[in-house]
A and B are shown apart, each in its own frame.
Chain A
Amino acid sequence: MEAGSATGARRLARPEVTLHGLEPPPRGWLAWLTTTDHKKIGILYIATALVFMFLGGVEALVIRLQLAQPDSTLVNPETYNGLVTMHGTTMIFLFVIPLTAGFANYIVPLMIGARDMAFPRLNALSYWLTLFGGVAFYCSLFFDPPSAGWTMYAPLSDDLYSPGSGVDAWIFLIHLTGASTLIGAVNFVATIHNMRAPGMSWGRMPLFVWTILVWAYLIILAYPAIAAAVTMLLTDRHFGTSFFDATAGGDPLLWQHLFWFFGHPEVYILVLPAFGMISEILPVFARKPIFGYKAIAAATVAIAFLGMLVWAHHMFATPTATVVLAFFMLSSFTIAVPTGIKIFNWIATLWRGSIVYKTPLLFAAALPALFVIGGISGIQLAIFPVDWQLHDSYFVVAHFHYTIFGGGVFGLFAATYYWFPKMSGRLLSEGLGKVSFWLMFVGFNVTFLVQHSAGLTGMPRRVYDYDSELGVTAYNLISTVGSFILGVGVLLTAVNVVISLKSGKRAGHDPWRGNTLEWFTSSPPPPNNFDVIPRVRSVEPMKDIRREVAAAARPAETVSQPAAPRSL
């Protein structure tokens, strides 16, 4: 008894943690289902985005097949409008955004030397919301897909003119992916603000992390507008409100203002991360530091800020006062300045470099080459009297594909080739990669360059058929041929990924001689990312580390001793 109380007292004095059993970490598919690891979530995002890219790509090819010849009967007008709507929505909300989120998820914590995102469970929620948003949206294929265009202009999207439930599936998609993206954005802001490696001040943060931070803030500012707008559309459709119904005192233009208040920042949400990616990739392969680090970071912030002030340039043909049109023309002009700064800084980064021609470099260098075409046509479209002629024509289709595909997707492909070795431990095949790049580059230009001409000749967008006398038949045939070249190019990269996952060359920690911290850890990184985190002393910590290692490996600096006198 006494002994018992003595041990009891000892127990009180020294509390123990009792472990009733050690749960083995889940394996197989359960590991993916329950993961909160930013790397696994990143890969889930990327895989999901690639599946939706395939769906959106097939839709695009059907659209191009339908338009290859006038009077084609491949699809009927309703189906065609559905295809256009699904293609646009898929590529924006289910391909580019999730793919960007995937890379950001995987790379940002590694780049800033963090163990994970700030809120790992929230991160998992983010991913699953996107997936289920996409699934809900694609389920509409089986009953009644939406067909009012990805811009879903009211009153066409209202219950009177779109009575089916496709628009509701679209609203559901926007709500789910919108919540996902917003939650993700908050997570990135918290992570980037608080979890950077010791010594990584704002001025030493990698440019990709800069763009993701700005991307996250843009999302937080822009997404609530679309969330509100689609909620209003939902109540208009089902609960008797009339926000957008002119016959009951509402206004269709309200939809356009709310939509584009989100929609234009969305364009920068799509391309800014790609700008950040190539700002990392170009210096690595030019073997040069990035030219004008501060200017590029500042230009990113400036583009985001100005991007919030230009939304009505999508509405130049609406009944709007000239002074308003002039304001939005000038605000759109100003974005050209920071964008131009970026393009010239990238070229200056290559200038006097020693450029190593690997596939990531090819995709990265194609980005400014293609984006500048979209930038120039963007300035033309910003001039509102000129836009009156070009608006809603194929010229606009060409313009936004040059910006979002040329500027965004080429950057994302560069990122795929650049970071695949880090994620899988294996390099993608260079041969297949280069063939894929050239097919994509040539196919892209063949597809979209002539669309400028089709638009200038008078072909509106979103038409399932065109007049054979309009003079756009040849342009459309060229464009269709190009789209299939482009499709083969994209497919080759997919094949490359599948083959290289099993049999690619082993990458090692740092196959490219990178500048940033993700190359400090193994490929793929261990669950905790880093066992030790180096102190960051510059914007290129890996360069510093390589220099230190080289210095340590060299024999200590010595001076040869003068020969001893013989006589001794």
Chain B
Amino acid sequence: MRRALPSGPQRRLVLAALAGALLALLVAAPFAFADPLTPESGGGSQNAENIDRLYKITLYIGIAIFLIVEGTLLWALVRYRARRGAPEAAQIRGNTPLELGWTIGAALILVVLTVVTFIYLPDIENPPPSGPNGLRADQAQFASIDQPDPPRSGGPILRIEVNGQQFLWRYDYAGGDQLFTYHEMVVPTDTTVVLEVTATDVIHSWWIPKLGGKVDGVPGHVNETWFKVRAGREGIYTGQCAELCGAGHADMRARVRAVTPDEFESWAEDTRANIQAAGEELSEERKRRDASEGEEG
């Protein structure tokens, strides 16, 4: 094994160069691969962006800890290997100040993380008011304003009941008339959308990475989350069920289509009309059938 590497100072040089290259790679990696190292949550809703920021802070602290630990470990492993002429192993059994030092150091890092988390938490957890370009109260019949605790004053909030079922999502829009869809949820931009997530059969988990974190839909419980797609960020946001729910789990996809409030209005009217028409058509058909049966009878 030894003969594979040059001996003496040359060998040390090679090892030092190797260690240096490895360290450089490790330092450079986060910048070169910023994308693989951070959640896919930029560009959607601001709660997802805040989670992203919080995650990045923990990532940077984590990288620092990683470098310190792996660096000292590697250094000790290389520097203190048994060789001819190397000093005897030092018979040290401990060092109280040093041990206290790293105990307190570790605790301090955690205090910092706690403080940072609680600074970001309100913006992640509490839904903000809808923006000026969002849904307007006068036109939005389905935006229920009678919520128990309005988060902050502002425009109306769109409430959608999200119901996970093997293996699809159903979305019920709050409001007087029947408005619901499956698979694809249509939402207006610049409007705070509050989701009330539940499930009818087994546990499912709602997750659109760009629009925030996961919320489990648990039978018998209602779990809340929210998102607000920025004005101008209209488009399709995809995700999928994140809790094993049976054979179709991997194919249980969810899609959010963000459109401008005006487009949303017309979509909602069309859909509501379609649902009503379909229902009326069925009842008409039944009446016709009953009537014809009556004639026959």
Q: Which residue of A lies closest to B243 (CB)?
A: A392
Query: Could you show 23 A-B contacts with beta carbons less than 8 Å apart?
Result: A81-B244, A155-B219, A246-B220, A251-B220, A287-B82, A288-B89, A289-B92, A293-B94, A317-B213, A354-B81, A355-B80, A356-B82, A376-B66, A380-B62, A383-B58, A385-B54, A386-B51, A391-B213, A392-B214, A452-B37, A460-B241, A462-B244, A463-B250
A411 CB to nearest B CB, Å: 15
Which chain A residue shows the least CB distance to B245? A156
The contact of A337 among B37, B73, B110, B223, by CB within 8 Å, is: B110
Expressed in whole angstroms, the Cα–Cα distance for A462 and B246 within the complex equals 10
Q: How far is the CA of A78 from the CA of B244 in the complex (A)?
A: 12
A512 at the interface (CB under 8 A from B): no
Q: Is B174 an interface residue (CB 8 A)?
A: no
- Give the residues in chain A near B201, CB-CB below 8 Å: 155, 160-161
Cβ of B90 and Cβ of A352 under 8 Å apart?
yes
Mark A353-382 against chain B: 1 for CB-CB distance below 8 A, else 0. 111110000000100110011001101100
For residue B74, give the distance in angstroms from its CB to the closest CB of chain A: 8
Return chain A residues, CB-CB under 8 Å to B207: 392, 458, 460
- Interface presence of B22 (CB below 8 A): no
Select one of A81, A149, A341, A390 contacting B247, CB under 8 A: A81
Are the CB atoms of A368 and B213 closer together than 8 Å? no
**A353-B73 CB under 8 A given contacts A253-B218, A386-B55:** no
Check if A420 is an interface residue, CB within 8 A of chain B: no
For the complex of A and B, the 7 pairs showing the least CB-CB separation, nearest first, are A388-B213, A246-B220, A453-B36, A463-B250, A319-B223, A287-B89, A246-B219
Query: For B52, what are the chain A residues with a Cβ–Cβ distance below 8 Å?
Result: 389
Instruction: Known A-B contacts: A156-B246, A350-B76, A372-B69. Give 17 more (CB < 8 A).
Output: A153-B202, A156-B203, A246-B221, A253-B218, A287-B88, A287-B89, A293-B94, A337-B110, A353-B89, A355-B80, A388-B124, A389-B55, A389-B213, A457-B40, A458-B40, A460-B241, A462-B250
For B212, list chain A residues within 8 Å (CB): 388-389
Minimum Cβ distance to chain A for residue B176 (Å): 27
Is A203 in contact with chain B by the CB < 8 A criterion?
Answer: no
Judged by a CB distance under 8 angstroms, whether B103 is at the interface is yes
- Give bound CA distance, A333 to B214, whole Å: 21
Assembly CA distance A317 to B243 (angstroms)? 10
A411 to B39, CA, bound (A): 31
| Shortest distance from the beta carbon of A71 to any chain B beta carbon, whole Å | 11
Report how far A348 CA is from B99 CA in the complex, Å. Answer: 10
Residues of A within 8 A of B (CB): 77-78, 81, 84, 147-149, 153, 155-156, 160-161, 246-247, 251-253, 286-295, 317-319, 322, 329-330, 333-334, 336-337, 340-341, 343-345, 347-348, 350-357, 365, 368-369, 372-373, 376-377, 379-380, 383, 385-393, 450, 452-453, 456-458, 460-467, 475
Say which one of B113-121, B130-138, B155-163, B274-282 lies at the interface with A. Answer: B113-121
Q: Is A337 in contact with B215, judged by CB distance below 8 angstroms? A: no
Contacts of B249 in A (CB 8 A): 77, 81, 462-463
* Chain A residues, Cβ within 8 Å of B140: none
How many Å lie between the Cα of A322 and that of B122 in the bound state? 11
Within 8 A of A (CB), among B7-65: 33, 36-41, 48, 50-52, 54-55, 58-59, 62, 65
Residues of B within 8 A of A (CB): 33, 36-41, 48, 50-52, 54-55, 58-59, 62, 65-66, 69-70, 72-73, 76-77, 80-82, 86-95, 98-99, 102-103, 106-107, 110, 113-114, 117, 120-121, 124-125, 166, 201-203, 205, 207, 209, 212-216, 218-224, 238-251
* B94 close to A333 (CB less than 8 A): no
Q: Find out whether the CB atom of B87 lies under 8 angstroms from the CB atom of A385.
A: no
Which residue of the partner chain B has the closest CB to A288? B89
Contacting residue for B51 out of A372, A389, A393, A450, CB 8 A: A389
Known: A161-B201, A286-B89. A347 touches B72 (CB 8 A): yes
Q: Is the CB of B113 within 8 A of A149?
A: no
Q: How far is the CB of A159 from chain B (nearest CB, A)?
A: 12
Closest Cβ neighbor of B55 among chain A residues: A386
Given contacts A288-B91, A291-B92, A385-B121, contact A343 B218 (CB under 8 A): no
Q: Which of A156, A322, A372, A463 contacts B65 (CB 8 A)?
A: A372
CB distance from A457 to the nearest CB of B (A): 5
Chain A interface SS verdict (over half): helix
What is the bound-complex CA distance between A387 and B91, given in angstroms? 44
Interchain CA distance A445-B99 in the complex, whole Å: 30
CB-CB under 8 A from B65, the residues of chain A are 372, 376
Most buried by B among A84, A345, A372, A383: A383
B222 touches A319 (CB 8 A): yes
Chain B residues within 8 Å of A385, by CB: 50-51, 54, 117, 120-121, 124-125, 213
* Beta-carbon contact of A317 and B205 below 8 Å: yes
A470 to B174, CA, bound (A): 32
Closest chain A CB from B87 CB (angstroms): 7
Inter-chain contacts of A389 with B (CB < 8 A): 39, 41, 48, 51-52, 55, 209, 212-214
Contacts of B70 in A (CB 8 A): 369, 372
CB-defined contacts of A373 to chain B, threshold 8 Å: 66
Q: Is the CB of A464 within 8 A of B246?
A: no
Residue of A nearest to B33 (CB): A453
Given contacts A347-B72, A392-B242, contact A357 B99 (CB under 8 A): no
Closest to B248 in A: A77
- A355 near B82 with CB under 8 A, answer yes
Which residues of the partner chain B approach A390 to less than 8 Å between Cβ atoms? 39, 55
Q: How far is the CA of A354 from the CA of B88 in the complex (A)?
A: 6
A319-B218 CB under 8 A given contacts A288-B91, A355-B77: yes
CB pair A340 B92 closer than 8 Å:
no
Report yes or no: B117 in contact with A383, Cβ–Cβ below 8 A. yes
Instruction: List chain B residues, Cβ under 8 A from A294.
Output: 94
Residues in A whose Cβ lies below 8 Å from that of B244: 81, 84, 148-149, 153, 156, 461-462
Q: Chain B's nearest CB lies how many Å from the CB of A279? A: 13
Q: Which residues of A contact B219 (CB under 8 A)?
A: 155, 246-247, 252
Q: How far is the CA of A381 from the CA of B114 in the complex (A)?
A: 13
Q: Tell me the nearest residue of chain A to B206, going by C-beta.
A: A317
B81–A357 CB distance below 8 A: yes
Q: How far is the CA of A288 from the CA of B80 in the complex (A)?
A: 11
Q: Which residues of B contact A247 (CB under 8 A)?
A: 219-220
- Are B39 and A456 in contact, with the CB atoms below 8 A? yes
A160 and B246 CA atoms in complex are apart in Å by 12
Q: Which of A295, A337, A355, A383 contacts B94 (CB 8 A)?
A: A295
